[in-house]
Amino acid sequence: MSAGHGHDHDHAPASFNRAFAIGIGLNIVFVAIEAFYGWKINSLALLADAGHNLSDVAGLVLAWGGALAGKLKPNARHTYGWQRASILAAFANALLLLVAMGSLVWEAVHRLAAPQAMEGVTIMAVAGVGIVINTATALLFMRGREHDMNIRGAFLHMAADALVSLGVVLGGALYLWQGWQWIDPVMSVLIAAVIIVGTWGLFRQSLHLLFDGVPDSVDLNAVRDCLLALPGVQRVHDLHVWAMGTSQIAMTAHLVMPAGQADDAFYREATRQMDDKFEIGHVTLQVVREPFTKPCE
């Protein structure tokens, strides 16, 4: 006997389409402005920030595509739908951000060898606009970042870019104050380091989920103990927990019950506990009198 159960958790708005559209539009305009002034005054900080903003546009497109794909209905060929696309988008977003920051550090190190004068006022003005645009865009995704890794990837991208823009403003102010030509690349390296540290968790977690790892929010031993506490269950066999997408968790398990008795009320209580305690919304349980499959452990 087996039971299946599906449930959606609506912790955040069901659709971020408007947020994605606004964020992409604003950032495309800002990339053009920043790249133009960066080229005009030969500022590494502005050019690097423009490049990073361009990666943000790509990141937002990836995240939006992943979110849309995740909402496609299941069919006979894809029985879970395309929810895994949101995990893939989060991974690509993290990888893209890490590569962008690595490129920034590489260019900054080269620029340190030959510091150049900069136009502090222009840099501060352009980067100041960036702070406003990227902070506003990040706020559009703030509500969904706690419960959806894909949305968190979009949020981190925009928050990171706001931080880069802030660093550019500070670098311009220090240059005007002290005349330090090296401050532009040094500030770029420091900010890149901060962003890399902040992004590593998203990269690690999304890679972990791509290979069907147990989500960080789920304690597998606690899940096993909860199942063992159900009436009549003597052993839990062949337990698997994985992420279907960035906001959906599934599990399967064999419950060894020598009496072989499990009615709808039993399955209903078991799936309720998995949902309430661990936010596992898709549960499949099979009751057996004796374990007959080889344990995957």
pLDDT of residue 117: 66
Tell me the residue type at 182. W
Domains of the chain, start order: 13-210 (1.20.1510.10), 220-288 (3.30.70.1350)
- Find how far residue 191's CA is from the centre of its chain: 20
Q: Which stretch of DSSP H or E encloses residue 159?
A: helix 149-178
pLDDT along the chain (297 residues), means of 10: 48 67 89 83 70 76 82 83 84 84 82 72 84 89 73 81 81 82 79 80 88 91 94 90 86 87 88 93 88 64
What tokens appear for 106 in the block?
């590489």
pLDDT of residue 33: 86
Q: Which stretch of DSSP H or E encloses residue 287?
A: strand 282-288
Is the Cβ–Cβ distance between 90 and 63 less than 8 Å? Answer: yes
pLDDT of residue 13: 43
pLDDT of residue 16: 81
Please list, in sequence order, all residues whose beta carbon lies within 8 angstroms of the beta carbon of residue 5, skipping any fewer than 6 positions away. Answer: 267, 271, 275, 281, 282, 283, 284
- Per-residue H/E/C for 25-65: HHHHHHHHHHHHHHHHHCCHHHHHHHHHHHHHHHHHHHHHH
Residue 147 to residue 158: CA distance in whole angstroms: 17
Q: Which of 297, 285, 13 is CA-nearest to residue 148? A: 13
Residue 202 to residue 98: CA distance in whole angstroms: 11
Burial bucket for residue 177 (CB in 10 Å: 0-12, 13-18, 19+): exposed
Name residue, tokens 């990141």: 59
Residue 236 to residue 256: CA distance in whole angstroms: 6
Output the pTM of the full model: 0.73
